[in-house]
Each structure stands twice: as structure tokens, then as C-alpha cells.
Chains A and B, each alone.
Chain A
Amino acid sequence: MHPILKLLVQRIALGLLLLFAVSAVIFLGVEALPGDTAQAILGQSATPQALENLRNQMGLDQPALTRYFNWLGGVLTGDLGKALTNGVDIAQAIGQRLGNTLFLAGCAALISVPLALILGAVAARYAGRWPDKLISGVTLTTISLPEFVAAYFVIFLLTIVIPVFQPVAMVFPGMSFWAKLQAVALPVIVLVLVVLAHMMRMTRAAILNVMQSAYIETAELKGLSPMTIIWKHAFPNAVAPIISVVAINLAYLVVGVVVVEVVFSYNALGQYLVDHVTKRDLPVVQAVGLIFAAVYIGLNIIADVTAIIANPRLRHPK
């Protein structure tokens, strides 16, 4: 078997194992909360008899291990259970919101990743000179702002000072793709500002690190232009650390953007999760937690494998 294929299988197997472990941790975490779902539904004033009846009915009197495997079995067959608060099928409710989350994250990623790479390369090219300082200064400022401040600033600037966008990002099924794009423009801008700096700094640092190598001197002595040297000779050898930071930021775009969703009233997973945490709707919390974990693990596996494939020693063994 080709070593890369072997590696791929290995990593995916490890990822699944990790996901399994995470599912156990999530279940345990929810289990450790005081009270249980029956208590949550019936409230503090419920009679012990009513509680017991409901527990019987929901299978909550079963041992924890049995309930865990029941839940896990459901997850594997696509049945995430029903939300307690409104009885809606969780899988269905999540499906649409997950689409919205991925749409927003995808748009932000498509802009921020290439932009971060270009800005990082430019900053490395002019390391220590004004373009570097300008890029670093601006991106560090935007990352230092709390997201809601950045969000309100962008709203103020682009809906009031220069009124080109609407301040809320409402999307609904049946909207045209173009209309959707317009709707998410503002949150995308905010997210780009938030994730840009981290990826840009890593690109800059990784390229500068490689620029110390003897083969960069060779390229200089070949009379290549500085930008050609960075793209053709430095960048291919600097991708591994950049990829892992990109993966972390992409994961953040999926799982960490609830503040931005709330500010723009964007109906996606983050809001859904927070809503149901406040309502103590534990099945929903479990399901969303598991999806977020899967996104994190999946992106990190992809990052790992890409970084390894980028190494010619592994791609082309002796």
C-alpha cells in the first residue's frame, strides 16, 4: 500500500476513535449537570410521582451506559431525537441551520484564506518595512476588537455612513443565491476581520523562517524577483504550519461565531445552540456539541494529511 494511503486510513480511523471519545465526554458532561431532562420539562414544582412517570416514559430510569449507547445508536442512524421544548425533530432543525452556518463560514473562508496568504507573503517580502508594519498593525487591531464591537462598527460604517448593505442578515429557504450573498455580506466582513490576523501572522512567520534557507539564497543568486522567490521557493516549503492555523480558523468560523450570528440575527447553529442551552434542552445541546466536535476533528485531519502530503519526501519515497 502506498504510504500516503496508509497514513490517510490511519488518520481517519484515529479521528473516528477521537470522535467516539468526544461523544462520551459530551454525554458525561450533560449527565453531570444537576437535574435531568424530566426535571427540566416539568420544572421545579413537579411532584416526585410526575417526575418518575416521565422518567419511565423517556427511558431516563435506565442506567447511564444503556442510555449512552441508545443515544449513540440513534446518532449513527441519523436520529438525533426530538427537542424537548417544541418536540421538533432535531436532525431536521439542525439540517437547515447547518447549511446556513456552512454558507456563512464558506464565504468568509473564501475571502479570508487567500487574503491572509497574500497579505502574509507581502508582509514577509517587506519584513520590517512600512508595508509589513501597516499590514500587521491593521490586522492586529481588528483581531483585538471584540467581535460585537467590530460588528457594530461595520454596521455603522456600511449601513449608515455609506448605506450599501442592510444591517440584518436574514436568510430563508427559497432565497436566490445572489440575494443570500448580499444578506451575509456584513457578517462575512466582520468574520474576515476577525480571523485574518492569525492566519496572516502565521503565513508571514512561516515564510520568513524558510527565507533563511540556503536554497533561498540560491534563488536570489539566480536573479529571481523577490515575489517569485516567495511564491515558488519559500511558500511550498512553508505550507505545513500555515495549513494547521488555517484549519483552526476555519473550525472557528463554523463553531465560534455565535456573537456575530446574534448581532446580525442570522439564523444558524450557534444561535440555535445558545437558545437551547438557556432552555436546558439537553438533547439539542448534545447533538450540536457532537457536530461541532466532528467539524473540529474533520478539519484537523484534513490539515494534518495535507501538511504531510505537501512534504515531497513522503510523496516520493526514495
Chain B
Amino acid sequence: MADNLLLDIRGLVIEATSYPPGEPPKDVTLVHGVDVQLEKGKVLGLIGESGAGKSTIGLSAMSYGRGGVRLTGGEILLNGRDIRPAAAWQLRRLRGREVTYVSQSAAASFNPSKRLMEQVIETCLSHGVMTRPEAESRAVGLFRKLGLPNPETFGNRYPHQVSGGQLQRAMTAMALCPKPDLVIFDEPTTALDVTTQIDVLAAIKEAIRDTGVAALYITHDLAVVAQVADEIMVLRHGRKVEHGTTDQIINHPREDYTKALVSVRSLEHAEKPEAAPILRIENVTARYRGTTFDVLKNISLGLPPGQTLAVVGESGSGKSTLARAITGLLPPTKGRISFDGRPLSAAFRGRTRQDLREIQMIYQMADTAMNPRQTVRTMIGRPLEFYFGMKGRERDLRVQELLDQIEMGKGFADRYPAELSGGQKQRVCIARALAAQPKLIICDEVTSALDPLVADGILKLLLNLQAETQMAYLFITHDLATVRAIADKIAVMYKGEVVRYGQKSDVLAPPFDDYTDLLLSSVPEMQLGWLENVLEHRRMASAGN
């Protein structure tokens, strides 16, 4: 057992200095004495919400602290020696040689001005692991194993010339190239579309198995980690919650927190019956200025009051463009949009104040949708002033009412965005939209940037608000679990077209068209062997054709 132990982290303490606005800087502890053991050739999943310390712990296996993070206590034994107190030059020898790293965003992690091959084989050469021809042929072999197109010439390309999913695989090849003992995968598929995620996941799993490398697999998605990990460790607030085999964690969780993670998305929503639509989109076609192809092709949809229409599809399918067309930011070239029985002017400049007030938007990144220099009171108060002319005390009372409505209560009105958590920020954005008393809210990936439990809270809030106020939601998302949880109607978009549209129960019932089938079957499910089953199923289906 002891000979087999590759990584043995004992009592790891990690600290950082935080700079709260208006207060003196203070030290905070991010990780409170965590133990991690990993045997050679095994895969350990680290799972938890953001702030749980999973990336921080993962990077500690390279004795690396991101930003101002400091590894202040405990031992990090890699191949039997403690690397926590090691000098910079000693760390440089093991980073990129014994331990390598695959990040969440390969697109940002590749140097844009160097060819992929140079970057993939860089560590092999700088650490003197192999000669350039050896390294290049190994890289080509890895490209082939990871299913990259034209493996012989793939390395000649620059990062901007290949897709996000391909970059993620290239980064995996880069991590495996110097034959490391341990690879840290830090949310390697989180930024990908589900249909791409399943292929990358399968490629990573196969590469891990074939090279016999050990891995730390960090993610917030239990269903994903269940496909690749031998063991899973659940983390929360920098402490270990539970550690066990994948089977035990998924099927027999002991701790309440783990149970909550496993059962998340248990939210169920009864579909409402068909009704006359409040928003009617007829044959809408749109293109961006200066381009020659249509990003929306002949779209027709309807959304009844008090109901939710979910628009699903992968990135680039035209979901957000549809929102821009409805709000008048991108006037359609053809087709009509009518709202509450009256036609809407194509461009927002031609719309009345009532038109503008009744359609509100909430965005994916609450951070960038808020002015960092305005308080919550100012932000929520602005639509009250603008649409209803409220001032002073009347406005403040209404702001507090809205804060109560989004379940935030007192004490938040005078905070700045930097003093709110991710979920709270999104709630404030919801309150700002509510302030206008809209009849339709367009929600553009509003839960995508949030942790599952927080996202669940936001969805519940949205459903409660809908029941109270009879608002309609146009809910744009790539996450099918969310769709199941809240939609009444569903439109599946693919390359600018609606390929499937109807009541939720009809859309999610077979027989499926090819694309919807691919989309639905790609959503990871929380069971062991799901990945193999899906791939086997697809292989048989394509063999049958």
C-alpha cells in the first residue's frame, strides 16, 4: 500500500489575505487541515461548490498557490517527499514533469501566439524528457488517441483555429505528453456544451486508462465525476465532508450535504396547459450587420402568460440572438413579433415606454450586468424612478418590498455588488427586473454560472414569483435538467433553427429527431457506467445504419 501511494497530503492548511472594502485586510483560512491520499494509477474526484477549496487543494499537489494563496500548514508528500517547503527551482523540476494540469478554460490557457505543437511538447523539451522528434511523435499519438481531427497536422495550428472542445483535448494531450505521474483535471468539461462534453469526457477517461496515469478530477458536477473517478471526496468550506468509493458516494451517501448534492435537481414542475400566447413570434429571420448568413431562420414561437418557454441548444445555436431580436436590440430582417396583442416595433428605439417596461431581461453574468459603483438600492430604485416616477421614501419602501420578495430581507439595500455572493447578485438582478412590473422576463442562462444548490434556490424563487405575478418567462439555457425543472413549453434550437417545439411532455417524449436525441442522451446521469452505456448505444445505432 505505502509503495503504491503517489500523493499523500496530510493536514493541509491553506490561507489567503482578503481585502474587504472599507476594512483592513485580514487573513482567511481557505482549507482547514484536509487529508488526501491517491494511489498510482487511480482517479480521485474532488467535488464541491465554488469556494469549497477543491481547485486550491488540487493545485497544492504542485505546491502552487493561485493569486495570493499560501500553503501554510501540513505535508504534501509527492512520491514520498514533502514538496510544501521545496524551493522554487525544485518545484520547477516537478511541475510539468511529475505533475501536470488541465484547466477549465483551455481557450484561455493556450498562448494565442504560438502553435499548438510547440506548447504541447514544451515540457518534454524543457525538462529533457525526450528529444523533439520523440516528443512530436508522442504528441501526434496522443492527438490520435484523443480523437482530434488530422492528428499529423493538428499541431501546426494556432489556438484560435480550433474549437473549444478540441482545445480541451489538446490540453489533455499537453498534460499527458511528458509522461507525468499525476494529472490534475480542473473542471475540464464544465465550459463545454453537453454534446461536446460527452466526447471529451470519454477521450479523457480512455487516455487516463491507457497511460495508467493517476488523476485528481475536480468538478462541481457529481454526474460527471461519477463517470471517471474510482473514489470521490466531497468538500465544503475547505473541509472534507465525506470520502468513499464512487459507488458509495452516489448510491449510499452518508452525510446530509452529500445527499443534497446527489438529489439536487429534484425540483419538479407540473406543466400548464396550452393557452393563447402573450408573446407571439412569427417567421422571424435575423442576421448581424455586415455578415451574409442568417443567425435566426424563420423562427415561430408562442408563449402564454404565466408560463415558461425554455429555449435550449448548444452555444452558437442562436438562443441569445433570439433574445436580442425580441428585445429589439437586433431588429429582425423578416417576420413579426407581437406582445399582449399589439405588434412590437422591430428596433427598441421605436417602442413605447410601456413596451420596454413589460419585457425585462436577466443575464448569465450578474457581475457584469451590475454597475460595481452603485448600491443595491440605486440599482433596484432606477427602474422605479424611470418607469413609475417614484422618489425618496416611497421608492425606498418599494426597494425593500422587492428585496423581501427575492428573499433577501433587510441590510442589503446599501451594499455594493462586491459585497454580495454570486447567488445574491443574481437575486438583485431579478429584483431589478421585477421592479419594472414586467409581463415577460427573458432569462439568459441565469443559473449557468452558479453552483447547483444556489441555482436551485434561484429556480425555486423564479417559480414562486411566477405563481404570484403571472409573469411569463422565456428561459434560455443549455442545461436540460433546468428545463425539466421549470418549463411548460420547450423549443430546441440548432444552427439558428427551431428543430423541435411544443409542450414539455411532447418534446421530451419519443420519438425524437436526431438532434434532440443526441442532446438528451448527452446529459450526464448520476449513475455508474452511464458514459459507457451511452457510447455503446451510439456505436450500435451507427452500426445499425
Contact = CB atoms under 8 A, between A and B. Distances in A.
Interface of A: 213-215, 217-225, 228, 232-233, 236-237, 310-313, 316, 318
Given A221-B64, A224-B92, A236-B113, A316 B161 contact: yes
Interface in B147-198: 157-158, 160-161
A41 to B, nearest CB: 58
Contacts of A225: 92
Contacts of A224: 92, 96, 122, 126
B112 interface: yes
Contact of A310 (B111, B113, B127): B113
Given A223-B96, A223-B127, A225-B92, A312 B103 contact: no
Contacts of A318: 160-161
Contacts of B127: 223
Contacts of B110: 215, 218
B365 to A, nearest CB: 17
Contact of B100 (A217, A221, A311, A316): A221
Contact of A313 (B92, B95, B111, B112): B112
Contacts of A220: 64, 95
Given A220-B64, A221-B101, A223-B91, A316 B113 contact: no
Nearest to A228: B126
Contacts of B109: 214-215, 217-218
B113 A223 contact: no
A222 B95 contact: yes
A7 B343 CA distance: 45
A308 to B, nearest CB: 13
A71 to B, nearest CB: 42
Q: Chain B interface residue count: which class?
A: 20 to 34
Interface string B181-220: 0000000000000000000000000000000000000000
A262 to B, nearest CB: 44
A70 B103 CA distance: 66
Given A220-B64, A223-B127, A312 B95 contact: no
A213 B93 CA distance: 22
B62 interface: yes
Nearest to B97: A223
B108 interface: yes
A219 B111 contact: yes
B103 A214 contact: yes
Interface string B83-118: 000000001111111001101010011111110000
Interface string B51-67: 00000000100101010
B108 A215 contact: yes
Nearest to A225: B92
A236 B114 contact: yes
A223 B93 contact: yes
Given A221-B96, A232-B114, A310-B113, 18 more contacts: A213-B108, A214-B109, A215-B112, A217-B103, A218-B110, A221-B59, A221-B62, A221-B100, A222-B100, A222-B123, A223-B93, A223-B97, A223-B123, A223-B126, A223-B127, A312-B112, A312-B113, A313-B158
A215 B111 contact: yes
B406 to A, nearest CB: 34
> What 5 pairs across the A-B complex have the smallest Cβ distances?
A223-B95, A222-B96, A214-B108, A223-B96, A223-B92
A282 B97 CA distance: 70
